[in-house]
Amino acid sequence: MGILGIPSKTDFGFRTKDGAVVHGVMAQFHTAANVYHAAEKVRDAGFAKWDVFSPFPIHGIDEAMGMKRTILPWIVAGGAATGVTIAVLMQWWMSGVDYPLVVQGKPYAAWEPFVPITFELGVLLSAFSALIGMLALNGLPRWHHPLMKNERFLRTSDDTFMIVIEAGDPKFQGEETVAMLQSLGATHVELVEE
């Protein structure tokens, strides 16, 4: 038994002595600079399932965390291309094939009036794919998250910074990980139950 009383890994993952599933450990930092440099060390230690929580965006934190660039732009590009294609085909088929009408003496299926609708549908599907893609990549929406029942964690939306390393991370070593976080300058390290 170490500082937080996490026993070593069982066949059922990390458990507290009461048998509760360990979600991970949460380390509190008081300044953005501290959490930034701690994040660099956690990144270099090779952790994969972890995150930094801050009340405001910290410039360069994605680099300090070693985060890869998101694929979201490509999802949005796909949405835009789909919207543009649908809009052009729909309008061409409607006004050029299915029901050609003379409007103001303009040619059937003239491209000019297609442009605003093509633009709008392109933007609409871009926006949809941006929102839905972002939610999907973040694993949202979800009913609950273990961190949300922790009073101290809620302060990350107010005046403190946190690094949370999940127990599901292959590098997670229980008490050793706790000791590492303390050595990085965490002012408080706490166990988070599932």
Partner 1 sequence: MSHAATNPASARAGTHESPAHLNHPALKAENITLEPQRVGTLWKALVGAGVVGIAAALAGSMAIAGGLDAGAATIHVKGALLIGVLSVMGFSLGSLFFLMINAIGGAGWHVTMKRVLEQAALLIWLPAAGVVLFALSEALAASNDGVGVVSSWLNPAITGEEYFITKKYPYFEPAFVAARLALYVVVWVGLARLMWSISRKQERTGDRWLTNKAAFHSAWGLVLLALVTAFFAFDWLKALTDYKFFSTMWGVYFFAGGLFVTFPAMALLLTFLRSKGKLQGLITTEHHHDLSKYMFGFIVFWAYIAYSQYFLIWYSQIPEETTWFMHRKEVWPNLSAFLIIGHFLIPFPFMLLRAVRRTALGFGLFACWLIFMHVVDIYWIIRPSLGITLENPVGFGQGLWIEIAGIGGVIALYAGLLLWRLTKAPLVNVMEPRMPEALAHKNYV
Residues near partner 1 (CB under 8 A) are 57, 59-60, 62, 77, 104, 112-113, 115-116
**Identity of the residue, 32 or 179, whose beta carbon is nearer to partner 1 in the bound complex:** 32
User: By the 8 A CB rule, do 2 and 175 touch?
Assistant: yes
- For 24-47, give one letter per residue: b (16+ CB within 10 A) or e: bbbbbbeebebbbebbebbbeeeb
**Identity of the residue, 19 or 57, whose beta carbon is nearer to partner 1 in the bound complex:** 57
| Burial group, residue 170, by CB count within 10 angstroms (0-12, 13-18, 19+) | exposed
**Identity of the residue, 13 or 113, whose beta carbon is nearer to partner 1 in the bound complex:** 113
Name the pairing type of β-strands 50-53 and 161-166. Answer: antiparallel
Question: CB 58 → partner 1: shortest distance, Å?
Answer: 10
The pair of three-digit structure tokens given for residue 16, joined into one six-digit string: 């507290």
Question: CB 65 → partner 1: shortest distance, Å?
Answer: 13
**Identity of the residue, 2 or 60, whose beta carbon is nearer to partner 1 in the bound complex:** 60
Question: CB 39 → partner 1: shortest distance, Å?
Answer: 15
Q: How far, in Å, CA of 125 to CA of 131, rounded?
A: 10
Question: CB 59 → partner 1: shortest distance, Å?
Answer: 5
